Amino acid sequence: MAGMTLEDLSGKMSKIDFGMLSTRTEAGAIASRPMSNNGEVAYRGDSFFFSDGDARTVSDIEGDARVGLTFTGSTGLLGGRPLFISVEGEAELIRDKSQFAAHWTKDLDAWFEQGIDTPGLVMIHVHANRIHYWNGKDEGEVAL
């Protein structure tokens, strides 16, 4: 699908369960960790993840808000061609419980047993600046 739109990409991303969030450490290294992709929410260039406030991820973002996200879709879900997505963005740390509920799903209870009341819970909001994709022979950048 040449010339994929943000709406096209959102539909495909809804079938991808996990992605990788990459941050830059204080020493300048790149650190990546898996994060759950909430496919129930239409992707519009913003991703939301939850983390323990003491996690290295949070301190990395406090030091440098520039982050990367990568997602890979399996060939069975996408008509025989794998989908690779690379997102460059800026992360914001949100500690306001009233904002958590809009992005919470029951699957998160497995990691955060007290739900949005989990002590030290932080929501990571990643706003995309650039999105690249590769889908078989098709590749491109999605305009934001």
Q: What is the DSSP letter of 7?
A: H
Q: What is the mean pLDDT of residues 71-90?
A: 80
Q: Tens digits of per-residue pLDDT, 24-75? A: 999 999 999 999 876 666 788 899 999 999 999 999 999 999 999 999 987 5
> In whole angstroms, how far apart are CA 54 and each of 16, 32, 37, 65?
27, 16, 21, 16
Annotated domain spans of the chain: 6-142
Q: Quote the longest CA-to-CA distance of the chain.
A: 46
3 has pLDDT over 90: no
If you compute the radius of gyration of the chain from its CA atoms, what whole number of angstroms results? 15
User: What whole-number distance in Å separates Cα of residue 76 and Cα of residue 66?
Assistant: 32
Q: Where does residue 3 fall: left (phi above 0), alpha (psi -120 to 50 degrees), or beta otherwise? A: left
Fold observed for domain 6-142: Pnp Oxidase; Chain A (2.30.110)
What pTM value is reported for the model? 0.89
pLDDT category at 143 given cuts 50, 70, 90 is confident
Q: Which residues contact 96 (CB under 8 A, 6 or more apart)?
A: none
Q: Supply 139's token pair.
A: 């590749």
User: What whole-number distance in Å separates Cα of residue 37 and Cα of residue 116?
Assistant: 17
